[in-house]
Chains A and B, each alone.
Chain A
Amino acid sequence: MSFLTSVAAWLADGAHWQGADGIPIRVLEHVELSALAVVVAAGVALPLGLYLGHTGRASFAAINVANVGRAIPSLAMLVFALLVSIQIGLGLGFWPTLFAMVPLAIPPILTNSFVAIRTTDRDIVEAARGMGMRELQVLRAVELPAGLPIVLAGLRTASVNVVATATLGALVAGGGLGRYIVDGLALQEYERLFAGALLVALLAVGIEVGFGVLERASRHT
């Protein structure tokens, strides 16, 4: 128990809640970077997935992009992102981490939004067209509400992946909660290491649970 007590003491120490290396700043960095990556990825993948799902085009590619995405180790992706970032003069930290996160977040969002639209009952879609709805109206009023839980599940997978990759960002001199883990490991300060890992785990599980609640709510509407 003594180790957990010293972790609790580390977390309770007011000094760890202030300044650039304080917990609030690190949490904010982590959440900001993750949210930005998911928003950028969704900006690309959501319209594309919905369009392909609605038209039924490129189904093989849309489904398999998720499998390809899963095969790429996130640390390898971070390395390639780092090299690109340095080549174009954006340096370490924020940019390479973002560059690594966006491609890892795109596949689950793309595949799920595609599947969400494709699995909508085709009879209902035909009925909506028969009622005189235009294509965009069919998508917005029929297909999207029916497929919303699946779209949200894709966003959830992407968010959890992104939070994990943001943690690795500390290896390329990024901020966020990974700093505590990487620094704790380097300094052999296990309280710092453990507290940082606990915060990352809580963040990831919190996101998973939060999206789970949203998904259930979207099923009842």
Chain B
Amino acid sequence: MTPEEPLIRWDWIASHLDEIAMRAGEHIQLTVIAVGLGLVIAFGLSLLVLRVPRLEQSATLVTGTLYTIPSLALFALLIPYTGLTLLTAEIGLVGYTLLILMRNILGGIRSVPEDVRESALGMGYTRAQLLWRVELPLALPIIVAGIRIATITTIGLVTVTALIGQGGAGYLILIGLQRFFSTPLIVGAALSLTLAIVADGALVLMQRAFTPWSRAR
């Protein structure tokens, strides 16, 4: 990375298109698994907290502490136990999604007006029907807002998982740092940024498609 050398060598990019596509694929895969699992766990936690309200404080404390620990440190705390594996990466990544997702699932369900809930119960809905047919659809915009934040955050964190051998856009950054070569550095950074922006846009479109009644917002 001397001043005489060009910042971007296009010939390197042209000859590494396959690798760049592969790293993008790894990045997306790591993100989808993390947000998907995070959603399932956060949903379970939220239902538990709704049934047993006194658990809310401890659930928030645990997920909040996880969220506060810097990513590199959280992965490092897991490595001695689970090694340089996909499991280590996903435990950390899922851990980071929980606070945001749980906060939005709970907030979404609680934002459903009490009269709506009572009318549904009055119409003979069971608790499960109330949840699936009334509360969740009405909570969807707030839940999707949480998924957006969780996804963007995860895409940023996946960049770091390259350090524990899991590939993704961060791998290109690491190559650039090791060889002191600016082209893969820039490609890796631009790739993670692009993925974050595209994912956010896609989720906005998805939310509009699933909740046509809230289009006014």
Known contacts A3-B80, A208-B68, A79 near B176 by CB under 8 Å = yes
A48 to B2, CA, bound (A): 37
A76 CB contacts on chain B under 8 angstroms: 156, 159, 173, 188-190, 192-193
A82 to B185, CA, bound (A): 10
A79 to B186, CA, bound (A): 7
When the two chains form the complex, which single residue of A77, A83, A87, A178 contacts B185, counting CB atoms closer than 8 Å?
Answer: A83
Contact between A194 and B80 (Cβ–Cβ < 8 Å)? yes
Smallest CB–CB gap between A174 and chain B, Å?
12
A193 CB contacts on chain B under 8 angstroms: 76, 79-80
Write the A68-105 contact mask toward B (1 if CB under 8 angstroms, else 0): 00111111110110110011000000000000000000
Known contacts A75-B173, A76-B193, A79-B189, A194 near B76 by CB under 8 Å = yes
Contact between B7 and A83 (Cβ–Cβ < 8 Å)? yes
When the two chains form the complex, which single residue of B69, B182, B186 contacts A204, counting CB atoms closer than 8 Å?
Answer: B69
* A172 close to B (CB within 8 Å): yes
When the two chains form the complex, which single residue of B72, B156, B192 contacts A178, counting CB atoms closer than 8 Å?
Answer: B72
Q: Interface on chain A toward B: helix, strand, loop, or mixed SS?
A: helix
Contact between B193 and A197 (Cβ–Cβ < 8 Å)? no
When the two chains form the complex, which single residue of B76, B164, B196 contacts A197, counting CB atoms closer than 8 Å?
Answer: B76
A83 to B185, CA, bound (A): 9
Contact between B72 and A200 (Cβ–Cβ < 8 Å)? yes
* B42 close to A (CB within 8 Å): no
B190 CB contacts on chain A under 8 angstroms: 76
A-B contact count (CB 8 A): 115
Known contacts A71-B196, A79-B176, A201 near B73 by CB under 8 Å = yes
Interface residues of B in 96-137 (CB under 8 A from A): none
* A37 close to B (CB within 8 Å): no
Contact between B70 and A200 (Cβ–Cβ < 8 Å)? yes
> Max chain A CB contacts within 10 Å: which of B64, B164, B189?
B189
Closest to A162 in B: B70
Closest to B196 in A: A71
Interface residues of A in 175-195 (CB under 8 A from B): 178, 181-182, 184-185, 190, 193-194
A23 to B69, CA, bound (A): 19
B13 CB contacts on chain A under 8 angstroms: none
A80 to B182, CA, bound (A): 10
Contact between B73 and A167 (Cβ–Cβ < 8 Å)? yes
A75 to B125, CA, bound (A): 49
Q: Interface on chain B toward A: helix, strand, loop, or mixed SS?
A: helix
A198 CB contacts on chain B under 8 angstroms: 73, 77
A171 to B188, CA, bound (A): 15
Contact between B192 and A73 (Cβ–Cβ < 8 Å)? yes
* A163 close to B (CB within 8 Å): yes
Closest to B72 in A: A167
When the two chains form the complex, which single residue of B75, B186, B188, B200 contacts A71, counting CB atoms closer than 8 Å?
Answer: B200
Closest to B165 in A: A185
A29 to B190, CA, bound (A): 29
B157 CB contacts on chain A under 8 angstroms: 73
B166 CB contacts on chain A under 8 angstroms: none
A42 to B149, CA, bound (A): 24
A73 to B169, CA, bound (A): 11
Which residues of B are at the interface with A, using a C-beta cutoff of 8 A? 1, 3, 7, 64-65, 68-77, 79-81, 149, 152-153, 155-157, 159-160, 163-164, 170, 173, 176-177, 182, 185-186, 188-190, 192-193, 196-197, 200
A-B contact sample (16 more), CB < 8 A, given A83-B1, A182-B163, A185-B76? A71-B197, A72-B156, A75-B159, A75-B173, A76-B159, A76-B192, A79-B188, A83-B185, A164-B73, A185-B163, A190-B80, A193-B79, A193-B80, A194-B80, A197-B74, A198-B73
Pairs A–B under 8 Å by Cβ, sample size 25:
A75-B156, A75-B159, A75-B192, A76-B156, A76-B173, A76-B189, A77-B189, A83-B7, A83-B182, A83-B185, A87-B3, A164-B72, A172-B177, A185-B79, A185-B164, A190-B79, A194-B80, A196-B76, A197-B77, A200-B69, A200-B72, A201-B69, A201-B70, A204-B73, A208-B64
